[in-house]
Structure 1
Amino acid sequence: MSLKDALGHYLEVRDGRKDARFLEAKATPASFNRESDTSELWREHERIEQGFECSGECRRSFLDLKIEIAERMLRKCSLCHWRCGVDRNLNPGRCGVTSPRVASEFLHYGEEAPLVPSHTIFFSGCTMNCVFCQNWDISQNPSVGVSIPEDRLAALIEERRRRGSANVNFVGGDPTPALPYILCVLRRISISVPVVWNSNMYLSQESMRLLSGIVDLYLTDFKFGNSDCALKLAGVGNYFEVVSENHLRIRGEDMIIRHLVIPGHIECCTKPIISWVADNLGKDTVMNIMGQYRPLYRASWYPELNRYPSREELEEARRWALREGIENLI
């Protein structure tokens, strides 16, 4: 399968031949009310996912339903795998985030070619604590940036799209703590803009369900090939199990998997990830094996990380991908 075929849905939306999925969710009727039990809301969500038509009073949309569920999740937060249970309307969660803050937004010309120019919106805060984080100044400082009203950000996204952006790219840090806010922003957008979810994929199952039918392309960050390295270097448990399972949930969707080559971690991380992708997601999966690692943040605390990846390591990573039959390397 060619790159064009692997990203077929996204490219059609990008080029105006198909509506973005969030517009379809806005146009899909849903029947619920604010007094409904959360389990009832999930049953309605599943009914719509299975293609059943709305019965009864259908004054709301599928997107409205997702927002209602997301806002309830926020009150006892279970948006990411930490499931810290904090009411994030009042207090910061494990991610450090209360109300989302935008650290920056701009047209990004350094993303993968099919995404350029990408209207990239960086949120402060993160669900992980990578000791070598390349964006540590915003990921580890949830208070930086500004709060932007939903309608204002929606208007900005529309303006960027009219002026030629290829998509809106929600990133960070990580966008997961801002999921309810992002859904509310999308509800206010009236034109078709491809939605790119640019994430570490350490999400809960419920958040993955809310993203289904909204995201046009997943731009994933698959760093660690085992949970021991993730616990040591990012402070998260069950990493490989969670992130691999979330990738399986989006199998068949348009995605680009990024893997940052970490010095000294070819055998334990790079090769296992590439092999897992080839075996479980398919050899036509689009991958970007990245050599942009820099010894930033607290990398100097770990001697093996306090250097750039060698040329030999980067070449070995690419050779392994070709050996495993990965067809779409970008």
Structure 2
Amino acid sequence: MKNLDHYYDILKNEKNPNYLETKNKKVEADLEADLDTLWKYHENKEPGSTSLLDLKARIAEKVIENCQLCENRCGVNRGEKQKGLCDTTAVSRFSSDFLHRGEEPELVPSYTIFFTGCTFDCVYCQNWEISQKKRKGDPVHPEKMAKKIVRKKLEGAKNVNFVGGDPLPNLPIILKTLSKFEAEIPIIWNSNMYMTKQSMKLLNGVVDLYLADFRYGNDECAKKLSSIDNYFETLKSNLKESKKQADILLRHLVLPNHLECCTQPIAEWCAQELGKDVRFNLMFQYRPEYKAKSYPEIDRRLTNQEKDRATKIIEEEGLENLV
């Protein structure tokens, strides 16, 4: 598939997944050091005896003591059993995991792990029961989860797909889980991409494919519908960085009455900055859920006219590698 070369090379056993390369890279590091020193080890990557993946996991553990994983930057000490804005402590939980056959064709079957909690508060969330403080889920034990990943690969999984909610609040546990096995399986980060630069650094050398949700074309819509700030610049920065790190597959869920304010600027930016051949999934699955009834402009499904207009926008901007 065009623009997913790295991912397909792993599937063909022509290349190792990034996490394995990072796990096997040994660097100088004292894992008991303070956070600033740990980051210096991470930047310098001097030869040593500590796995770079273990160093990343330790940094992530320290970061959540004054949590700066997402751009909400709530600063909560999640290591002390406090919940951040994501409703997540240091204990990661998942609501379900299974071989998913409903993703993009190049991804299925995908071993998909649905974590609870989210860095957004979308008023129309279709997974609100797991993302918005309704279901606690089961605790994630890295050793057990690692064994399940290996087993699912043997059962035919093409990849392991970390999602939610959003996977980001669970980054420490995810990195620990990856350190517990060595299966040659691509790692997919299925995310809203509302991450700090620190989180992007930790994911560099871990993720093989960013399954990135690009929802809003401006900050006003993001604030109104998902309660987040500085959305558009954050997404643009992280998507540029993700393209440098790994393959990228973009998703855009079209919202009613949000074509000119959101779909159009997203399509224009993606074509100009990520390339017209970026893999792009224009999604028409929206249905009003959760609190959508309180927002009249999105309290309905898309019309055929809106679907046609969204398709025309994509064509006009020249995006050519559509799912």
- Band of TM-score, shorter chain: over 0.9
SS at match of 1:185: helix
**Matches of 1:13 and 1:269 in 2, distance apart?**
34
Q: Does 1:311 align with 2:304?
A: yes
Aligned to 2:66: 76
Matches within 5 A, 1:125-274: 125-141=117-133, 143-252=135-244, 253-274=246-267
Deviations, residues 15-67 of structure 1 (Å, cap 9, x unaligned): 3222111110111011111343322322222233xxxx51xxx2211101101
Match of 2:37 in 1: 40
Query: Is this contact kept in 1: 2:2–2:277, CA < 8 A?
Result: no
Moved over 3 A (4+): none
Aligned residues: CA RMSD = 1.2
Note the residue ranges of structure 2 that are not aligned, 5 or more in a row: none
Deviations 1:278-299 (A, max 9, x none): 1111111111010000011111
Question: Which of 91, 94, 106 does residue 82 from structure 2 map onto?
Answer: 91
Match of 1:28 in 2: 25
Amino acid of the structure 2 residue aligned with 1:23: L
Taking structure 2 as the reference length, the TM-score comes to 0.96
Q: Report percent identity of matched pairs.
A: 46
Q: Secondary structure at the match of 2:252?
A: strand
Distance 1:144 1:126 in 2: 12
Counterpart secondary structure, 1:121? strand
Q: What letter matches 2:72 in structure 1?
A: W
The answer for the alignment partner of 2:290 in structure 1 is 297
TM-score, L = length of structure 1: 0.94
Give the aligned residue type for 2:21. Answer: E
d(CA) in 2 for partners of 1:15, 1:312: 42
Match of 1:144, SS state, is coil
Provide the secondary structure at the position in 2 that maps to 1:102: strand
Q: One-letter code of the match for 1:86?
A: V
CA shift digits 1:74-130 (9 cap, x unpaired):
111111111111111221011111111110000000000010000000000100001
Say if 2:2 and 2:279, in contact at 8 Å, map to a contact too: no
